Amino acid sequence: MNTRVEAALNDQIHKEGYSSQFYLAMASWAENHGLSGTAQFLYSHSDEERFHMLKLIKFVNERGGKAMIQAIEQPPIEFKDLENVFEQLLNHELMVTDSINNLVDICLQEKDYTTHNFVQWYVSEQLEEEALARTILDKLKLIDGDKGGLYMFDRDLLKMITTRANSTPADSKAQ
Ligand code: OFO
């Protein structure tokens, strides 16, 4: 495997692993604040990020490279409020999108069209994840801290897990 592509894929493995831990920390925060629907949504999002990481690990190893399992830094424990949770989630996804775009660039520069093809799955996934985070943030801004609104928001996030599970590519549900 091209060493530059391998290094970029390993960097992405680390980022997906961190995403999983970051959303796990958010889920735990939500659970401790009585937001059980939000917590379940974030637990499930954390599982998806782990799947993204595993998919990369398997790809690297199957193509003759060596997937590196690196230490993951401590995610935040406290969040100001629910809006802050989803602001951080959106900003994180924007950073991940930049990283995926960089990976696409490297594949093209190194003429690694197989990896380029593989990475397209992540390009589409990022589009979905950014759109979802923006939709959720818009809802929270509308609610503007209203308790009744937050109650309904929390309940609606539970429904979103089911909708997403039914619309996610089949292989992303395998884990
Ligand atoms: Fe892996 O898509 Fe979010 O980070």
Work out how many domains the chain is built from and give that number.
1
Determine which of 64-78, 100-114, 147-161 has the lowest per-residue pLDDT on average: 147-161
- More confident call, 145 vs 7: 7
Beta carbon of 49 within 6 Å of any ligand 1 atom: yes
The model's pLDDT over 130-162, given as tens digits with 9 standing for 90+, comes to 999 999 999 999 999 899 999 999 999 988 886
3-state percent breakdown (helix, strand, coil) of the chain, nearest 5: 80, 0, 20
Ligand 1 atom with the smallest distance to the CA of 16 is 1
C-alpha to C-alpha distance for 61 and 28, rounded to whole angstroms = 32
pLDDT of residue 105: 98
Q: Which CATH number is 93's domain given?
A: 1.20.1260.10
Percent with pLDDT over 70 in the chain: 92
pLDDT of residue 162: 64
pLDDT of residue 160: 83
Test site for ligand 1: of 22, 49, 98, most ligand atoms within 8 A of the Cβ: 49
pLDDT of residue 168: 53
- Whether the CB-CB separation of 1 and 56 falls below 8 Å is answered with no
From atom 1 of ligand 1, which residue's Cα is the shortest distance away?
49
Residues 6+ apart with CB under 8 A from 151: none
- Residue 173: pLDDT band (50, 70, 90) is very low
- What predicted TM-score, i.e. pTM, was given to this entire model? 0.92
Distance 170 CA to ligand 1 centre (A): 17
**Range of the structural domain that residue 139 is part of:** 3-174
